[in-house]
Amino acid sequence: MPRIASDVKMKLGKLKQIDLREQWKHEALDFTKWLAEPENLEQLGDEIGLDIRLIQTEAGVGKFAVDILAEEETTGKKIVIENQLEATNHSHLGQLLTYAAGIEAEYIVWVVRDARDEHRQAVEWLNEHTDDRINLFLVRIELWQIGNSDPAPKFHVISRPNDWTKSIRGGTSNNAELTDTRLWQLEFWQQLQTFALTHKPPLKLRKPQAQHWQDLAIGRSDCHVAFGVLRNEGHVGVSLYIPNSKALYHTFLANKTAIESELGLGALSWQELPGKKASRIQLLKDTDLSSENRNETFSWIVNTAQRFKTTFSKNWTPLPSHDGDA
């Protein structure tokens, strides 16, 4: 059947970049205040791959103050964020390192209008010559507008840690080489991250590490989702990990039938772990872990984790009382 040409012209808007100072006149009073809002920290976190939770703005470090002090939601690791609505300079780089040292931050985020080559090279050099306890991100902030629309912010990562190099260094002690198993684990999580980037699930994965587990924030601080892979046993698992509250575990247990029904994944393994503060709710899957057949495994991990996140992030009705809280 021949195609019929349409006389209707598609009208498209034109993107226009807005000067940052038109929106934020004052760096501390305007931009830092804006960035500290949860939805804006979430947007920054989506770009760099961290779940960022605000602790304080203008947090004191000796005689100085860091623009934003935050933490990673699942681990509590400290994050310092320094803002600069102009091109990078030496003084701000020095301030960032001073703040990070004073707070013992593991993540350092420098948000700027423009990055000079020498400062980009300095950040890349620091990332290459430190272990995985120090992670620097150089991020450009832009504002864009279509016609008369409200300006929309866009973050661009200019420099980030080299996950492979830092995981290799961070996974060794006394300069020993990584074992074959740890290298295999690192490769597995890197491939999962690549799969997730391609399929774009609504999950924010942590950077790959040479270990058998990875964790995932679910929007609450008292528990999180964890992935696990056991090469020798030939299975993968998704768990809800509750680090410090037996009462929360028993709240979920009281709703076991409803939770398992909502998940639609069959029976879960409910592990109170007596004698420990932590508890776990787990689902395992036997699978082919060969490198040629991992997409099906990755799809199961991602889909199961998303169901766990949706279900366990809800506020389930607790028991009237329970004396087992740790």
Tokens of 200: 């774009």
Question: In terms of domains, do 216 and 124 share one?
Answer: no
Quote the pLDDT of residue 124. Answer: 92
Quote the pLDDT of residue 123. Answer: 93
Quote the pLDDT of residue 3. Answer: 59
Query: Domain with 301 in it: what CATH number?
Result: 3.30.1460
Domain holding 59, by residue range, is 15-161
Query: Is residue 6 very low, low, confident or very high in pLDDT (cuts 50, 70, 90)?
Result: low
**What's at 295, amino acid-wise?**
N
Quote the pLDDT of residue 307. Answer: 95
Residues 6+ apart with CB under 8 A from 220: 313
Question: Pick from 266, 237, 248: which is nearest to 313 by CA?
Answer: 248
Within a domain: 324: no
CA distances from 209 to 90, 191, 212, 310 (A): 32, 12, 8, 25
Pairing, β 107-114 against β 78-87:
parallel
Quote the pLDDT of residue 323. Answer: 46
What mean pLDDT do residues 289-299 have? 86
Residue 135 has pLDDT above 80, yes or no: yes
Judged by DSSP in three states, 72 sits in strand
Quote the pLDDT of residue 140. Answer: 96
What mean pLDDT do residues 148-162 have? 89
Pairing, β 135-146 against β 15-18:
antiparallel
**What's at 292, amino acid-wise?**
E
Quote the pLDDT of residue 240. Answer: 95
Question: Pick from 151, 222, 191, 149: which is nearest to 301 by CA?
Answer: 191
Question: In terms of domains, do 239 and 281 share one?
Answer: yes
What mean pLDDT do residues 19-39 have? 92
Quote the pLDDT of residue 302. Answer: 93
Question: In terms of domains, do 151 and 183 share one?
Answer: no
Residue 265 has pLDDT above 70, yes or no: yes
Judged by DSSP in three states, 265 sits in coil
**Of the candidates 103, 133, 161, which is a domain's last residue?**
161
Pairing, β 52-61 against β 235-242:
unpaired
Tokens of 159: 């420099």
Query: Is residue 8 very low, low, confident or very high in pLDDT (cuts 50, 70, 90)?
Result: low
What mean pLDDT do residues 100-120 have? 93
Residue 212 or residue 265, greater confidence: 265
Question: In terms of domains, do 157 and 180 share one?
Answer: no
Quote the pLDDT of residue 55. Answer: 92
Query: Domain with 142 in it: what CATH number?
Result: 3.40.1350.10
Within a domain: 322: no
Instruction: Count structural domains, the chain.
Output: 2
Question: Pick from 77, 75, 272, 298: which is nearest to 199 by CA?
Answer: 298
Quote the pLDDT of residue 93. Answer: 92
**What's at 287, amino acid-wise?**
T
Quote the pLDDT of residue 324. Answer: 46
| Least confident residue range of 92-96, 127-131, 159-163 | 159-163
Quote the pLDDT of residue 318. Answer: 77
Question: In terms of domains, do 134 and 184 share one?
Answer: no
CA 41 to chain centre: 11
Judged by DSSP in three states, 121 sits in helix
Quote the pLDDT of residue 168. Answer: 52
Quote the pLDDT of residue 325. Answer: 47
Residue 166 has pLDDT above 70, yes or no: no
Query: Is residue 174 very low, low, confident or very high in pLDDT (cuts 50, 70, 90)?
Result: very low
Specify burial of residue 5 (Cβ count, 10 A radius: 0-12, 13-18, 19+).
exposed
Question: In terms of domains, do 193 and 256 share one?
Answer: yes
Residue 173 has pLDDT above 60, yes or no: no
pLDDT tens digits for range 44-56:
988 887 888 899 9
Within a domain: 323: no
**Of the candidates 161, 186, 214, which is a domain's last residue?**
161
CA 204, CA 206: separation in Å to the nearest integer? Answer: 7
